[in-house]
Chains A and B, each alone.
Chain A
Amino acid sequence: MEDFWAMVLAGLKVWVCLIVALLMVPAMFGFSLGISETYMKILVKILEWATLRIQTVNKAQQILKSSSFNSLVQRDDGSMEEELRGLRRSRPKPPVGGDFTLSDCFYFYRRGIEDIVEDEVTQRFSSEELVSWNLLTRTNIDFQYISLKLTMVWGLGVFIRYCILTPLRIMLASIGLTWLVIGTTAVGFLPNWRLKSWLSEWVHVMCYRICARGLSCTIHYHNKENRPRKGGICVANHTSPIDIVILCNDGCYAMVGQSHGGLMGVLQRAMARSCPHIWFERADMKDRHLVAKRLRDHVNDKTKLPILIFPEGTCINNTSVMMFKKGCFEIGGTIYPVAIKYDPQFGDAFWNSAKYNMVSYLLRMMTSWAIVCNVWYLPAMHQQEGEDAVQFANRVKSVIAHQGGLVDLSWDGGLKRAKVKDIYREEQQKKYSSMVVGSEEDRSGNSD
């Protein structure tokens, strides 16, 4: 019995030494031993093989799989005016009293039914469906037995992911976070020398690197020359809390957010000791002027780190970019846009906060194959003459969407939970009204 425990202890010691040597030291000093690269290569090969197997079996059995990758309906791109004119073509325009036909409604009915079958917005709040199965149970939509080999590979995958990788990742993540708290608190005790900020950045990056290893992240950074600089605002599309880990692996940012209690609160306070972050009390967040003032003060101090903001305000599923809130675009600082695109084949990074809480989300992350993403740093942008904050925000949004290959939507991400505002319906009504009454205004000079 004693021998058994001695063996277990020895095994644990070896395990921990291996972890430190192979994973933590490279993370601390920023070089790579090539272990993750090898893992990724093997993974890619296996997934390609699996895709081929599924395709051949499907062809053989002539199973038609309608992938929801493509649209279900084909829409007419005509505007309301064009469509209504088409509907009214069959009758002459009445001389007085406004232009209305019983068939005008057909336009609205058809649009309504098309939207019920398929709409642009609600699909953004749930995970993207994959083109081909990636050997994870959670993405298996149509459970079908394909072949014994595939099932065995899947079973092996389950074992590796849950029994080997997940404990390792959990350990790394906890080490990373503990280190973050201890390191930043320690740095916080130093007086304000240049050394302090350098050390603080080093501690931050090191801990985020360990956390990234804890999620098996493979990140490709592009255009590093456009990296955000001090005194600017870094703006990115939001898919999950992991975005922060992804971006902070390659630079140091000042975070903005609500101060939480509990574990998050400990983290936040520790981080704030070593370098200035902007944490708000819940009540203060409602006060837009206060928020703007604090942001402006931070930005104007050129020694402070660039602020990291996600203007969408909520997590979107990484197939589109939704409306940017104009708050940070009104401050007048330099905006550094960043586009983040995850590869869903290896692991779905989207946090569906309605379905999963933070802990189950992190567990799902840790039991995926890996997190693979591309980060593009885009050239800095400034607000131009005669451009208001909303237009500026839209300009930045389309640049990010274009680079990341995402759909550019003007809908508010807040529609995830809130109802759409009446004003948009009134716009539709206004448009239609001008088609009814417009003819009168042309003819008579005196319109009310």
Chain B
Amino acid sequence: MGSRASSLLREEEIEEIKKETGFSHSQITRLYSRFTSLDKGENGTLGREDFQRIPELAINPLGDRIINAFFPEGEDQVNFRGFMRTLAHFRPIEDNEKNKDPTASEPLNSRINKLLFAFQLYDLDRDDKISRDELLQVLRMMVLRMMVGVNISDEQLGSIADRTIQEADQNGDNSISFNEFIKVLEKVDVEQKMSIRFLH
């Protein structure tokens, strides 16, 4: 509930987040409002169960992976900075950003970083390669296997995984590296598909 939410966020913090993520002032205050409404424990951080309380996310087949992306290695709580950093990947790319200073660090929402975000959702063990097993795990999450009707057997999933790796793999190591990942998806409109359109 909006009880003095934005007054708990200091102006300096808002400026820092603005620089780091590129969100506007009003977007940051709105998202802070959202962060506090999800934070039932009122301790300034979100745990996994706070995310799982969102029904639409709980029924998303890849919901658990998405929630995981918010939590850095081994941690169980995420603060507002971390929350914003992850959300920043989905900020749309604006035209004036494309002409920015090339020596500045890559903004969080660039095409490369969006693809890296998606790559890391596949690559659980962070060895910079999507192995057959990791691909199979994601496929298993997305697909219905146990009920009657439209169902897909593990063998079918296995052959889908094999075929996908075959198409992408260029150096013959039977897994997909980040560069191979980028190559396969070069024709996909990543800027639009991995961005959410913020109003105001």
State the A residues within 8 Å of B (CB): 64, 66, 68, 70-75, 86-87, 90-91, 94, 97-98, 100-123, 126-127, 129, 138, 140-143, 352, 355, 411, 415, 419-420, 424-430, 432-434, 436-438
Cα of A113 to Cα of B196 in the assembled complex, Å: 8
Fill in one digit per residue for B136-152: 1 if any A CB lies within 8 Å of its CB, else 0. Answer: 00110011100101111
A86 surroundings in chain B (CB, below 8 A): 193
User: Quick one: given A106-B118, A113-B90, A425-B61, are A97 and B55 in contact (CB under 8 Å)?
Assistant: no
Q: B156 touches which one: A90, A97, A102 (CB < 8 A)?
A: A97
Q: B142 touches which one: A97, A112, A123, A432 (CB < 8 A)?
A: A432
B160 surroundings in chain A (CB, below 8 A): 97-98, 100, 436
Q: Which residue of A lies closest to B143 (CB)?
A: A433
A411 surroundings in chain B (CB, below 8 A): 55
The answer on a CB contact under 8 Å between B181 and A105 is no
Q: B5 touches which one: A91, A141, A438 (CB < 8 A)?
A: A141
Fill in one digit per residue for B17-50: 1 if any A CB lies within 8 Å of its CB, else 0. Answer: 0000000011101110110011000000000000
CB contacts under 8 Å to A, within B2-16, are 2-7
User: Quick one: given A100-B164, A113-B87, A430-B149, are A122 and B198 in contact (CB under 8 Å)?
Assistant: no
Q: Which residue of A lies closest to B142 (CB)?
A: A432
- Tell whether B104 is near chain A: CB-to-CB under 8 Å: no
- Tell whether B194 is near chain A: CB-to-CB under 8 Å: yes
16 contacts between A and B (CB under 8 A): A66-B200, A72-B200, A74-B198, A74-B199, A90-B187, A90-B188, A108-B66, A115-B56, A115-B57, A119-B56, A141-B5, A143-B4, A352-B1, A411-B55, A425-B58, A430-B150
Name 17 extra pairs, CB < 8 A, besides A109-B194, A433-B150: A73-B196, A90-B185, A98-B156, A101-B164, A102-B176, A103-B190, A106-B188, A110-B90, A113-B87, A115-B56, A116-B87, A117-B31, A117-B196, A140-B4, A420-B58, A432-B61, A432-B144
Q: How many residues of B contact A (CB 8 A)?
A: 68
Fill in one digit per residue for B143-183: 1 if any A CB lies within 8 Å of its CB, else 0. Answer: 11001011110001001100110001000000010000100
Q: Which residue of B lies closest to A426 (CB)?
A: B144
The answer on a CB contact under 8 Å between B56 and A110 is no
Q: Which residue of A lies closest to B40 (CB)?
A: A354
User: Least Cβ distance of A24 to chain B in Å?
Assistant: 36
Q: Which residue of B lies closest to A120 (CB)?
A: B56
The answer on a CB contact under 8 Å between B30 and A68 is yes
Q: A437 touches which one: B150, B184, B195 (CB < 8 A)?
A: B150
Cα of A64 to Cα of B63 in the assembled complex, Å: 34
The answer on a CB contact under 8 Å between A87 and B163 is no
